[in-house]
Structure 1
Amino acid sequence: MSGPRLRRRRAPRDAEATMTLVAHLTELRNRIAKALLALLLATAVSFWWYEHGLGEFIRAPYCGLDEDLRYEGDRGCGLLITDVFGGVFIRLKVAFLAGAVLSAPFWLWQLWAFITPGLKRNEKRYGVGFVAASSVLFALGAVLAYVSLSAGLELLLSLAGDGVVIALTAPDYIGFVVSLLVAFGVSFEVPLIAIALNLVGVLSHEVLSKSRRWIFFLTIVFAAFVTPTQDPFTMLLMAGPMILLFELAIQVARIVDKRRAKREALEHFHDLGDDEASPLDPRPSALDDAPSPTHR
Structure 2
Amino acid sequence: MLKTARKETRDPEGRMPLAEHLRELRNRLFKSVLAIIVVTVVAAFFYKDIIHFFQSPILKSVGCEHGAITQKNGQPCAAMTVNGLLGGFSIALKVSLMAGVVAASPIWLYQLWAFLAPGLHKNEKRYTLGFVGAGVPLFFAGALLAYEILPQTARIMIGFVPEDATNLLPLDDFLDLIVRLVIVFGMAFELPLVLVLLNFTGLVTGRRMLGWWRGMVIGITVFAAVATPTGDPLTMCLLAAPIVFLYFVAMGICFFNDRRRLRRRAADPDFALDPDEASSLNHIPEQVSSQPFEEPGRRGDDGYDDAT
TM-score with structure 2 setting the length: 0.73
Task: State the secondary structure of the residue aligned to 1:15.
Answer: coil
| Larger RCO, structure (CA 8 Å, separation 6 or more) | 1
8 A contact 1:105–1:135 mirrored in 2 = no
* Structure 1 residues 222 and 201: alpha-carbon distance in aligned structure 2, compared to 1, 3 A threshold: same
* Structure 1 residues 131 and 41: alpha-carbon distance in aligned structure 2, compared to 1, 3 A threshold: farther
Alpha-carbon separation, structure 2, partners of 1:18 and 1:267: 31
Q: Per-residue displacement from partner, 1:114-162 (whole Å, max 9, x unpaired)?
A: 4434433123123443222222111111111111111110011111232
Listed as ranges, the matches of 1:150-189 within 5 Å are 150-189=151-190
Alpha-carbon separation, structure 1, partners of 2:285 and 2:256: 30
| Aligned CA-pair RMSD | 3.0
The one-letter amino acid paired with 1:58 is F
Alpha-carbon separation, structure 1, partners of 2:244 and 2:285: 48
8 A contact 2:43–2:99 mirrored in 1 = yes
The one-letter amino acid paired with 2:28 is R
Alpha-carbon separation, structure 1, partners of 2:17 and 2:260: 34
Q: Per-residue displacement from partner, 1:38-81 (whole Å, max 9, x unpaired)?
A: 22222222222213x2221111023212248x7169xxx97311
Task: State the secondary structure of the residue aligned to 2:45.
Answer: helix
Task: State the secondary structure of the residue aligned to 1:126.
Answer: helix
The residue aligned with 2:133 is 132
- Structure number, greater radius of gyration: 2
The one-letter amino acid paired with 1:46 is A
Alpha-carbon separation, structure 2, partners of 1:164 and 1:195: 50
Listed as ranges, the matches of 1:1-296 within 5 Å are 15-51=12-48, 53-64=49-60, 65-67=62-64, 71=68, 79-268=80-269, 273=282, 275=284
Q: Which runs of 5+ in 2 are unaligned?
A: 1-10, 71-77, 272-279, 287-308
Task: State the secondary structure of the residue aligned to 1:211.
Answer: helix
* Structure 1 residues 267 and 71: alpha-carbon distance in aligned structure 2, compared to 1, 3 A threshold: same
Task: State the secondary structure of the residue aligned to 2:169.
Answer: coil
8 A contact 1:109–1:127 mirrored in 2 = no
Alpha-carbon separation, structure 2, partners of 1:123 and 1:237: 34
What is the Cα deviation at residue 22 of structure 1?
4.3
What is the Cα deviation at residue 113 of structure 1?
3.5
TM-score with structure 1 setting the length: 0.76
Structure with the bigger percentage of helix: 1
8 A contact 2:63–2:69 mirrored in 1 = no
The residue aligned with 1:9 is none
Is the deviation greater in 185-194 or in 122-131? 122-131
8 A contact 1:138–1:185 mirrored in 2 = yes
The one-letter amino acid paired with 1:227 is T
Q: Which runs of 5+ in 1 are unaligned?
A: 1-13, 278-296
Is the deviation greater in 197-206 or in 175-184? 197-206
Task: State the secondary structure of the residue aligned to 1:167.
Answer: strand
Q: Per-residue displacement from partner, 1:6-26 (whole Å, max 9, x unpaired)?
A: xxxxxxxx8335444444444
Is the deviation greater in 119-128 or in 145-154? 119-128
Count of matched residue pairs:
260
* Structure 1 residues 141 and 269: alpha-carbon distance in aligned structure 2, compared to 1, 3 A threshold: closer
Is the deviation greater in 201-210 or in 260-269? 260-269
What is the Cα deviation at residue 276 of structure 1?
7.9
